[in-house]
A = this chain, B = another copy of it.
Amino acid sequence: MAEPKLLGGVEAGGTKFLCGVANEDGVVLDQVRIPTTTPAATLSAASAFFAKAQARHGALAALSIGSFGPLSLRATAPDYGSITSTPKVGWSQIDLLGHFAQTLDVPMALDTDVNCAAVGELLFGSGRGLDTFCYVTVGTGIGVGLLVGGVPHGGANHPEAGHIRLPRALGDQAFDGICPFHGDCLEGLASGPAIRARWGMPAEELPPEHPAWGVIAEYIAGLCASLTYIVRPDRIIIGGGVMQPIDMHARVRTALHKQLGGYDSSIAELDMDAYVAAPTAGDSAGLTGALAIAHRLVTRQWPMHWAIGAQQNSVSTLSKVS
């Protein structure tokens, strides 16, 4: 009988690193939530977790990391495997893959946090059965993951669709935007920090009747329109803190339908309720996706046999793990 394969996954975020190990059936055997502090402290805590997990559960067969970025993902780049130039203090030019390669001699993969979350949605959430879809998160930043032909899309490095520019919404001409690179790109206008800068309070404190929500929905719909025309996805899944108000998906659908302008029957007749959807793979979809990518590194296939229950369980117990 072949030795059981232990899969390792990391969801590397700006506030926490989730690390987990799972068996071949996707059952999470061990996981830890590490606060993101300095790279040295955070990454050595992550390594310590995997060392302990291997002592308990046997050798890892593969490790997959989904990380905040920007990342260097082109295999021929000199800084391949690193976070490149992030606004997060201390985390620029941090060699993620290099760090884990110091202690682990296994196949490793690195992709964006949003691509990993998209894989989680593909297997256990709103992306099930779809060939091509977008996963958008609107929060501290605006990130977009793309599944094309059933696999995460990277291209020459990785998409950064939060930085596209759009026409300014009516009544939002005066605000300059806060993106350090582009000023009023989408992220500079509609991310959480942009909302706070524009309206003087964080998104979660804006009352439901505040006109800000119409403006924000207009911008997010603008992203969806560009994704529609450029990628032609089967669905756009949108999550993140800014999408929390109960009617935000409805607002985005209405604005998107209007922006698409009845162009071409296949677009004009899109069922907006199905086309613009909330994520449903749970809060740790990124870790789930990373573990699924580790499975694919070992077997060359997505783990279509993983039980949703095993993953859901991992989600619900997550907050109890220290």
A interface residue numbers (CB < 8 A to B): 70, 72, 74, 77, 79, 84-85, 131-132, 144, 146, 148-149, 153-168, 179, 181-182, 184-185, 222, 225-227, 229-234, 259, 261-267
Contacts and interface: CB of A to CB of B under 8 A. Distances in A.
Contacts of A70: 264, 266
Report which residue of A131, A158, A230, A233 has the largest number of chain B beta carbons within 10 angstroms of its beta carbon.
Answer: A230
Contacts of A266: 70, 72, 74, 77, 84, 156-157
Contacts of A168: 167
B157 A232 contact: yes
A259 B166 CA distance: 12
Copies of this protein in the assembly total 2
Main secondary structure of the interface of A (DSSP, over half): loop
Contacts of A131: 155
B165 A234 contact: no
What 10 pairs across the A-B complex have the smallest Cβ distances? A155-B232, A181-B261, A181-B263, A70-B264, A132-B155, A157-B266, A161-B230, A182-B261, A164-B226, A156-B234
Nearest to A186: B229
B234 A163 contact: no
A229 B179 CA distance: 15
B132 A264 contact: no
Contacts of A230: 144, 146, 159, 161, 164, 226-227, 230-231
Contacts of A146: 230
24 contacts: A72-B266, A74-B266, A85-B264, A132-B155, A148-B153, A148-B155, A153-B231, A155-B233, A159-B229, A159-B231, A159-B232, A160-B229, A163-B263, A164-B230, A165-B222, A165-B225, A167-B168, A181-B262, A182-B261, A182-B263, A226-B230, A230-B230, A230-B231, A231-B231
Nearest to A86: B264
Contacts of A225: 164-165
A55 to B, nearest CB: 38
A180 to B, nearest CB: 9
Contacts of A259: 165, 182
A265 to B, nearest CB: 5
A232 B158 contact: yes
Nearest to A146: B230
Contacts of A72: 265-266
A259 B184 CA distance: 11
